[in-house]
Structure 1
Amino acid sequence: MFRYWGSKPGTILEEHIRGVPEGGLILDPFGGSGSIVFKALTTGHKVLYADINPYAFILAYTLITNTNINKLKEYSNVIIRKVKDLAEQLYRVNGLPVKHFLWTKNGKVYAITINGERLKYYFNDSSKIYEMALAITPKRVLNAELVYPNGIPFDKGRYSKRIIDFFTPRNLLILSSIRNAIYDIIVSKCLDTEVSIPLITAFAAIIYNSSKMAREGGGSWGINSYWVPSLHIEKNPLTLFERAIRKIITWKKRNPQYKICLDVEEFGKETCDAYFYLGSASSFLRKLILLGVKVDAVITDPPFVDEVQYFELSYIINVWIHDLLKLALNKRIFSR
């Protein structure tokens, strides 16, 4: 559904599980975005999934989980209505609705209207909007830097050390408003993970394209680095969120969905198609050994070592979703 670094087609699984009986148990301790476990489920197998990366975890969970589409539509519409007036106000120039803003090499900014007009733009209220954004942006995002706990900078960091520097004041305000609306509805409606995590996934999927890294004519993360091109585009986060929700709903309608259990301690006690674990492969394997779980096949294809810095590239997303996912899972998920 959504881009993830190093995602492999599920078809590569077929030749490796020919000897696994129907209903057999397949373990993928480096599950990534879930393409392998999804394929295993569609071929009649049960799966055990683990990944240490929260972004990968929510992508895989949303890909597979049996979501009530009507509830997802209902609650996403509540979020959209809550942020709509603000987003429309910030994406309007000379009374005209703006599709996106174009930041050029010479520092000039143009507003591209819905009907295709190109208007010179001067952002006079940026300091006021920035103050408004800082007031509602989660502290974790405000304080996040592209450095490891020992102070060593990220290998993939180029533009700035601070996460908030990758967003304009306008988009920082809209993103924070969407994030807070998701948080509020998870709390007020006591949403189960089958709905709350797809909402979080839709939000996570728009972080890159809402940042200064977004390129004109480029939909995905073109360079595996925290790099802002001299010519970049500023897109409306709420429009991107609406599009992401539609993408999830379309996927759900066209593909089989499955029951996921999030507590591996309940293995064998509940009728689940898949068991998901957010954490390291080694800790998951220790749990399975202690529980006496026996599997029919193990997917031993790990991430691409240092070729793709999964965690570094996911960090800008993980800091935004940290508290949302912690709330959805109702437990502490990772320390940073």
Structure 2
Amino acid sequence: MRKQIPEKIKSRLNKIKTAIEDVPNTVPNEMRTTFNFKGRKSPIIAEKVIEAISDSEDVIYDPFMGSGSFVYAAMGKVKKIYATELDNYTFNAVSVLMNKVDMLKLSKLFDAVKEDVYEQIMRLYETSCCGSKNYISKVLFDPEEGKEGYFNPSNNREIIDGKNIKLIEKCPVCGGKSKKFDDEDYQKLVRLEKVDVERFPRNQYIVNSRINITSSTGADKYDRIFTQRNKIALLILQDAINKIEPSDEKDVLEQVLVASISLARIAMYGSSTDILYHVVGHGAQDMNVWLLFEEKYKSFCKFKSVYSDKQIGTTDSTVIIANKDYAEYIKENPDLKVDIIYTDFPYTDQVPYLERNQLYRIWLEKFYDSKYALTEDMLKQEIVLTNAESRIEKRDIENYYKDIDNMFSHFYSVLNEDGLVFLTMKLGKAKYFKTYIEIVNLARKNGFEYAYQIGVEKKDPTIRKQSAFTNTFMNEMIVVFYKLPKEDRYWYIGNENYEFLLVKKVYLYLIRTKEYVTLSSAVTLVCNDLKSKYSYLASEQDILKIKTLLQQYFKVDAGCIQIDNNQLYLDIEDTTDLYTKLYDLMPIFIRQLLDSKGKFVLEDVYFELVNSLCDGNPKTIAQILEDENHQRDIGNLILNYCEKDGQYYVERQDISKPNENAIDISTLSGTDFEILVQSLLKKEGYENVIKMGGAGDLGVDIIASKRQQDRLLHYIFQCKRWASNVGSDPIQRLYAERMRRRLDYAVCVTTSGYTKDGKKVAFDLEVETVDGNQLMQRLNKYFPGEYYNGIQDI
């Protein structure tokens, strides 16, 4: 029951698959090694997507700029790029990367800082090995054990023969680059404890156990995870940078220093910059602050060199970035209109960046500029789901959905006609689809329709074994929404999708009534429902809308309204188990995916199911995701049509087809299957073969008659293009209808088979059954080589 996407839009989106098919989903090393940002997305993938779907006159907007990957991807590809970023730390870190700077001046400033502080800092790390002076690169120790933790630390692969100090230079005597921590090293630490570090930040963090900021461990205190030596070194470096006159180049050095802090803390041995606040008791490392600063400076310079042609002002694209809340920016710029929104979606599993970046922001606010303060407005404006006790509103999933609702509303207002929203997502399994369904609902509420989805999994065996790709969900995907014209928007009343309620109301009425229903009476039914449920009096415009929707979701013929067998009414249908209905639709989705993509992974199938639902009810998919038997059934069904090829499902090569053009009857739509059975019956000599369907049919899809000797016998047929076996309920309804009409025979025809109970009831009630094998025998007699049944092997 989705809205139609224009063919021209489909055509653009279909270029994406080819564009990124062989492109590695990686973040360049030059980006990863600059400032510390969790969740970067591949600018290479984004660049290929933008090339495929945009032209040089387009305007792109990234409302949640983050590390700037999508801005870089769009540079030189489109006319203008807008980007906003709420987090002041992230925005300014990205700004120093994007804005052109004088590299010669930057080099001179770095040299001046080095001359000022190098010897002073290195003295902090001075040691000796075999009587020769050397300097510490890294100390491996157990912080909780005090003195003993330095002399006898926990073992790890870097500590060989108890040597837990890594040296900068090889010892000229023993030739080694490591040594045991000794009493001289300890006495140095004792002396350093007397140095005044009162200026070092002592702020208290917003507590969030998800990112290891816990009060019980003391991780909520800024200075808790730094050694005295590194506190001194960081303060020395900061004082040297503060001596420099304000400039863009000075800003670069400040961001270099701040980026160094993530490893200047007491870090877990072998730690990356991802885990910032974990209080490490054992197996820790303490690193030389100057070496960290110098290495990070080289990374920034390498970035500037590699991306010298992608700085603001160096391409044909006009780039405008702002440190603003996206909604505030849109309100302040009412004339802003864009063709494409391309961004990283603020999904529920996303790290709360305002909380994560406290380490950097507090330092910057204290020593550099008050513009880095974390304000109450920022905390309110962030779209996030967090467990921080102090952020009560942001702990509530319903408030998160309100923020997403508001987001899509703003997106609709800023997009031009035929505008597209590209969202990169990376979520967990069951939780992912439940959240995704809410996202689809909110997008529809605000004038969008789901248009496209493609997985862009990282080919990294450490993330997940390659062989498991087909059976589990990908980590990352691009989902595209299309801006519907105003007249085609879904009809919401409050937060309810009234289109679904309207369809449900009329569908159930058609099921219950045994008479044909006129279009005008269906309109009256809906108008009365609006009045009783919402005290809403339908206007002339509403009545036109109701008629349009009825014609869209039902068959209207000669003024009468009927159920359309090609529609997926799903959970508003009869009492048949919803999972069974979804399962029976699987072959259709599998065929569509194979035809459109050539290969697919598991969540592609689930995406098709989710986006074909009437109401987007999370319980629908939850029925499948929370039942391992259902998941196993679906996996087996897919393998009936497909085989595994590395990461993907592809069409089975060993399926016995009469010829390349043969049609798989198990993947036909309900209506097409009825038409096929109708054609077969005519070939077999049945007369007056009329396809029914719609209101009042009570499970009867075809009526026909056949002469037997001198008597004309009357038949009713029920057609089940099913993957699952037919049970007793449809058989009983068919029998009841045969008795009501006083006909001679009732026949149920299916592509699958019948349950044990279904067979017994059919025998007892004298309802003839035709299963998938029998049907193929009859089809081959009259249509040799034209059809095959892909479901027969199940």
TM-score norm. by structure 2 comes to: 0.36
Write the mapping of 1:100-111 to structure 2, written as runs, cut at 5 A: 100-104=138-142, 107-109=149-151, 110-111=164-165
Confirm whether residue 52 of structure 1 aligns to residue 86 of structure 2: yes
Q: RMSD between aligned alpha carbons?
A: 2.8
Q: Is the 8 A contact 1:53 1:278 kept in 2?
A: yes
1:315 deviates by 1.0
Q: 2:320 aligns with which of 275, 287, 309?
A: 275
Confirm whether residue 314 of structure 1 aligns to residue 357 of structure 2: yes
Write the mapping of 1:320-335 to structure 2, written as runs, cut at 5 A: 320-323=363-366, 326=369, 334-335=374-375
Closer, same or farther in 2 for the Cα pair 1:243/1:332, shift >3 Å?
closer
1:211 deviates by 0.5
Amino acid at match of 2:302: T
Report SS of the residue matched to 1:39.
helix
Closer, same or farther in 2 for the Cα pair 1:222/1:248, shift >3 Å?
closer
Amino acid at match of 1:7: R
Confirm whether residue 190 of structure 1 aligns to residue 190 of structure 2: no
Confirm whether residue 120 of structure 1 aligns to residue 181 of structure 2: yes
* Cα separation, 1, equivalents of 2:196 and 2:319: 40
> Percent of aligned pairs with the same residue?
19
Closer, same or farther in 2 for the Cα pair 1:323/1:45, shift >3 Å?
farther
Closer, same or farther in 2 for the Cα pair 1:130/1:303, shift >3 Å?
farther
Amino acid at match of 1:258: Q
Write the mapping of 1:31-180 to structure 2, written as runs, cut at 5 A: 31-94=65-128, 95-104=133-142, 107-109=149-151, 110-114=164-168, 115=170, 116-121=177-182, 122-126=185-189, 129-130=192-193, 132-137=195-200, 141-142=201-202, 144-147=203-206, 155-156=210-211, 157-158=213-214, 159-160=217-218, 161-180=220-239
* Cα separation, 2, equivalents of 1:202 and 1:332: 16
* Cα separation, 2, equivalents of 1:40 and 1:20: 10
In the alignment, which residue of structure 2 is the partner of 1:5? 38
Q: Is the 8 A contact 1:197 1:325 kept in 2?
A: no
In the alignment, which residue of structure 1 is the partner of 2:255? 201
What is the count of residue pairs matched by the alignment?
A: 306
* Cα separation, 2, equivalents of 1:302 and 1:170: 41
1:28 deviates by 0.9
Cα-to-partner distance string for 1:128-153 (whole Å, 9 max, x where unaligned): 5345352443xxx22x1122xxxx55
Confirm whether residue 305 of structure 1 aligns to residue 344 of structure 2: no
TM-score norm. by structure 1 comes to: 0.80
In the alignment, which residue of structure 1 is the partner of 2:302? 250
In the alignment, which residue of structure 1 is the partner of 2:776? none
Cα-to-partner distance string for 1:260-311 (whole Å, 9 max, x where unaligned): 7xxxxxxxxxx9832222232222222222xx22222222532333442322
Closer, same or farther in 2 for the Cα pair 1:248/1:224, shift >3 Å?
closer
Amino acid at match of 1:162: K
* Cα separation, 2, equivalents of 1:249 and 1:57: 19
1:212 deviates by 0.5
Amino acid at match of 1:120: F
Q: Which runs of 5+ in 2 are unaligned?
A: 1-30, 152-163, 171-176, 377-794
Report SS of the residue matched to 2:66.
coil
Q: Is the 8 A contact 1:6 1:303 kept in 2?
A: no
1:77 deviates by 1.6
Report SS of the residue matched to 1:206.
helix
Closer, same or farther in 2 for the Cα pair 1:120/1:127, shift >3 Å?
closer
Report SS of the residue matched to 2:186.
coil
Q: Which runs of 5+ in 1 are unaligned?
A: 261-270
Q: Is the 8 A contact 2:268 2:283 kept in 1?
A: no
Q: 1:295 aligns with which of 318, 321, 338?
A: 338
Closer, same or farther in 2 for the Cα pair 1:325/1:21, shift >3 Å?
farther
1:66 deviates by 1.3
Closer, same or farther in 2 for the Cα pair 1:306/1:234, shift >3 Å?
same
